[in-house]
Structure 1
Amino acid sequence: MSPRIGLLYPTRDCGEDDFAALCHRLDPAIDVDFAYVAWGAGVGRVDELDAAGKTAAVRELGAPGRLTTAAEDFATIPDVVSWACSSCSFTRGLDGAREQAAALTAHLGVPASSTSLAYLAALGHLGIDRVALASVYHPDLTAVFARFLAEAGVETVHAISADAASDRALAAWDGRRITDLVVAADHGDAQAVLLPETALHTTPLLAELEDRLGKPVLTATAVTVRDALDRTGASPERAGLGALFAPGPRNPRPPSSSSS
């Protein structure tokens, strides 16, 4: 029987269908359930916040207590749970991301992770320690993600920042706009390009992006799903979904550089 992934998600009706599409394309297909983490009482429209306000809002959203409260909304306890939000997991640093996962594991009794920890796991699987960032965030928040990666021994050699208004706005980006961002972010010294945003619809683009750049393009959706499955011991491989799901041997980095 295939494992069931439980995803905690920040804003309803953004990128959930992209997660479902990826899980459906795996062999065997994977079931995925969602529960939603409530934004802070003082947060109205995210797109009306300035850069500092957005950073504060996503940091507050990732408080471990908010995550465990939201996890009560799963109809049944999943086999693995992940906090499927990039910025809300990396803004607390590596220790903070691990604290989020530990709180969920203690609360639900199942393996737990987050999109940010999933990035570290993906980079470890592929033996990558130099990356470029195709960031949708404000430059200040992009720098926070680069520092998070640096804590785990991953160097950011180049980054661009699209400074998008909100996750709901990003959910409406089409494939061409996503592709343009990734191509602009690429750098000759980068072993991979990271696209850290779970509202983007990237599943249909995975193979195309990697073929165009000639290197892995690690999207937030793909790393979240792969990491969640790895934590259950189920790691389906499927051609056409990029390097992370490709059949064949990997070149792992030492475990000390990846998440725990």
Structure 2
Amino acid sequence: MTRIGLLYPTRDCGEDDFLALARKLDPDLTVDFAYVPWGEKIGRVDDLDPAGKHEAVRELGAPDRLSAAARFSTPPDVVSWACSSCSFTRGLEGALEQARVLEERLSVPARSTSLAYLSALAHLGAGRVALASVYHRDTTADFADFLAKAGVDTVHSVSADAPSDRALATWDRRRIAELAAAADHAEAEALLIPETALHTTPLLEDLETGLGKPVLTATAVTLWDALRALGTPPIRQGLGKLFTR
């Protein structure tokens, strides 16, 4: 039995979507969660202005904070920091540092959602992307910069500027699909939806069919990359191109 440990930012948001995808990939796959506490001065994320949210997610992704929170009831085989913005807002070097600290702390392979996007794009051979971002435009620009450092070009993006991950957990199929359609671009080789609170597992195949290109959601790339780090990238039909090649 393979056990994936996920560090997660806000309890009761998108964990059920991770578990739904894990069941589709392998009924024996176990996913455990550990939660990284927000800073004591944060209060309600919904109440913060864009600059305040940016600082809050940077603080949440501090390597020492991740290391202290990485406590699982059973030792995982691999661990991932399952938060998009909290890994890419520290830049590529910051994301690599997060993974390094977690690997030293747990003595297992360590990844993050942002690093998973880079692995998935390399696997698909996609170098030009469109971003269906739920973030403020400044945070979307941070993700585009993160991708650019790895040689990935963002040809188009939209920014929904959602108030919080807890709000995003309530988005329905229609709203997610509309965001994806608005972000699509003819020159993009893949569409990225970077947010682990969104419930995207039921939409993976339909989104790709509608847009005619790979659609990489945060939940999907996180689990795919964690299994790839163990040498067993999953192959499954009905979950999009990432899981079929």
2:235 matches 1:237: yes
5+ residue gaps, structure 1, are 249-260
Partner residue of 1:55? 54
Runs (4+) of structure 1 exceeding 3 A deviation are none
Secondary structure in structure 1 of the residue aligned to 2:233: coil
Is residue 46 from structure 1 mapped to residue 45 from structure 2 by the alignment? yes
Q: Counterpart amino acid of 1:163?
A: D
Return the alpha-carbon distance in structure 1 between the equivalents of residues 53 and 180 of structure 2: 23
| 8 Å Cα contact 1:26-1:236 kept in structure 2 | yes
Alignment TM-score, normalising by the size of structure 1: 0.93
Which residues of 2 match residues 123-202 of structure 1 at below 5 A? 123-202=121-200
Deviation at 1:233, TM superposition (A): 1.2
Identity of aligned residues (%): 71
The Cα of 1:31 is off from its aligned counterpart by: 0.8
Instruction: Give the equivalent residue in structure 2 for 1:34.
Output: 33
1:126: Cα distance to partner?
0.2
8 Å CA contact retained: 2:113, 2:222: yes
Deviations 1:173-221 (A, max 9, x none): 0000000000110000000100000000000000000000000000000
- Call closer, same or farther: CA 1:190–1:29 in 2, change over 3 Å: farther
Q: How much has 1:28 moved relative to structure 2?
A: 5.2
SS of residue in 1 equivalent to 2:171? coil
What corresponds to 1:220 in structure 2? 218
Residue deviations 1:130-180 (CA, integer Å, cap 9, x gap): 000000000000000000000000000000000000000000000000000
Q: Which residue of 1 aligns with 2:78?
A: 80
Give TM-score, length-normalised by structure 2.
0.99
Deviation at 1:29, TM superposition (A): 4.1
Alpha carbons 1:133, 1:194 under 8 Å: kept:
yes
- Offset, 1:27: 3.6
**How many residues in Structure 1 have an aligned counterpart in Structure 2?**
245
CA displacement, residues 224-260 of structure 1 (integer Å, 9 cap, x when unaligned): 00000000112221100011111x4xxxxxxxxxxxx
Describe the SS at the equivalent of 2:234: coil
* Structure 2 residue matching 1:224: 3-state secondary structure: helix
Give runs of aligned pairs for residues 79-98 of structure 1, distance below 5 A: 79-98=77-96
SS at match of 1:176: helix
Shift of 1:108: 0.4
Aligned equivalents of 1:34 and 1:190: distance in 2? 33
Cα RMSD (Å):
0.7
